Amino acid sequence: MALATLLLLAGIWLPLSSQPSPAGACQDPGGFLLVEHGDGTALIDPASFATHELPLDLDLVRVAERARDLLTSIVPGRWHVERTPEEDGLRIEVIDRRSDAQVFDVSFARRIELAASAVSPSGRLTVHVQANNVASEVTLLDAQTGVSRRVDVPHDARLAAYTIGVAFSPDERCVAISMERVGGEGAETWLVDPESDDVLALPAANIFVVAWRPDQVWGTTLGRSA
């Protein structure tokens, strides 16, 4: 069953409350963040940080999101991304299907800290996160421009993360990155702007991103309040 249908059946129709818009990374990225919040799930408006709790089981939400991702992947995007685990790290190759040209062939060395990678729906952006305990390194590979950049996510954690989550905004102009650490006060989440390299921390505590979905996915009754 589609997640949107589940939300409507659950009676989720109240608008998100209005709060001042944040300054910094990812101005008005659109859509809503679907997050794990404590033991439950919630929607967060990234333009205002307004939060709306959802009476849905987290396992059910994750199954629905995996099914949606599989359906989305049936139609290939312009860029093909191949991620190959190697003995000493991870190799990422990006091919432009229109020209068959190789845009990127990058290897990331394995380190003691946890690493994770994710690819945007169109294949345009590939993100590699190395979650160290000083300022976690985020490498952004932009297949459209052919530019690779590194952005540091600052934090004061004493330990590297043991889990990482990545989600792309519908227009792929913003990336949400979550990390959780042993002995921490819950998951931390940041918005990273691939164009300006700005980083903005979500002020809400214990938020771990599951997905980033367009407004229309939730139905017209779950829009932002005027």
Residue 10 covered by a domain: no
pLDDT in tens, 104-156: 999 999 999 999 999 998 999 999 999 998 899 999 999 999 999 999 998 88
Residue 8 covered by a domain: no
* Residue 145 φ/ψ region, left for φ over 0, alpha for ψ in the -120 to 50 degree band, beta for the rest: alpha
CA distance 33 to 136: 21
Residue 175 covered by a domain: yes
Residue 16 covered by a domain: no
Residue 5 covered by a domain: no
Give me 169's structure tokens: 């905004």
pLDDT interval class at 66 (50, 70, 90): confident
Residue 73 has pLDDT above 70, yes or no: no
Residue 211 covered by a domain: yes
What rounded mean pLDDT belongs to the chain? Answer: 82
Residue 7 covered by a domain: no
Contacts of 153 (CB under 8 A, 6+ apart): 129, 135, 136, 137, 138, 177, 190, 192, 199
- Between 67 and 42, name the one with better pLDDT: 42
Please give the residue range of the domain that contains residue 140: 25-217
Structurally, how many domains does the chain consist of? 1
Which one-letter amino acid corresponds to residue 93? E
